Amino acid sequence: MPPAEAQKTESLLSALDCYDLTASSGRRAGALEQQWARKDRTPTLGDMIVAAIALERGCILMTDHRKDFPMGELDNFDRPESRRIKAISAGLKPCPSPTDLWDR
């Protein structure tokens, strides 16, 4: 990582909450994996663990790979670009761009 990005990256990472994988989360991840495998989807165990923890903790999932998280019950974060387009089309003041968020 370029040194100029190291401090910004560390600031971003230190602002995130991290949750442990518990036995309960592991069981839920396995159940999710089986559920989606029956629908001819092949989710990775890693993605199912992330989904299970997000569901158990009531977290908003932030990902650029929504296709890997098809669970309707997951609360997905709308990317700033999406909200910006929706706001502009509704005549509202748009939200900050991703680069504006990065520089905070």
Give the residues across from 61 on adjacent strands.
Answer: 76
pTM of the model: 0.64
User: What pLDDT is stored for residue 15 in this prediction?
Assistant: 85
With contact defined as beta carbons under 8 Å apart, do 64 and 76 qualify?
no
**Other CB atoms closer than 10 Å to residue 63's CB: what's the count?**
16
Q: How confident is the model at residue 96 (pLDDT cuts 50, 70, 90)?
A: very low
Averaged pLDDT, 13-28: 90
Averaged pLDDT, 58-78: 80
Q: Is the pLDDT of residue 25 over 90?
A: yes
| Whole-angstrom distance, CA of residue 73 vs CA of residue 96 | 27
Please state the φ and ψ torsions of residue 10, each to the nearest 5 degrees: -65, -40
User: What pLDDT is stored for residue 87 in this prediction?
Assistant: 46
Q: Is the pLDDT of residue 93 over 50?
A: no
DSSP annotation of 52 reads: H
Q: How confident is the model at residue 26 (pLDDT cuts 50, 70, 90)?
A: very high
pLDDT > 70 fraction of the chain, expressed in percent and rounded: 74
Burial track 76-92 (b if 16+ CB lie within 10 A, e otherwise): eeeebeeebeeeeeeee
With contact defined as beta carbons under 8 Å apart, do 45 and 21 qualify?
no
User: What pLDDT is stored for residue 62 in this prediction?
Assistant: 80
Q: Looking at domain 3-77, does it have CATH number 3.40.50.300?
A: no
Give the residue extent of every domain in the chain: 3-77
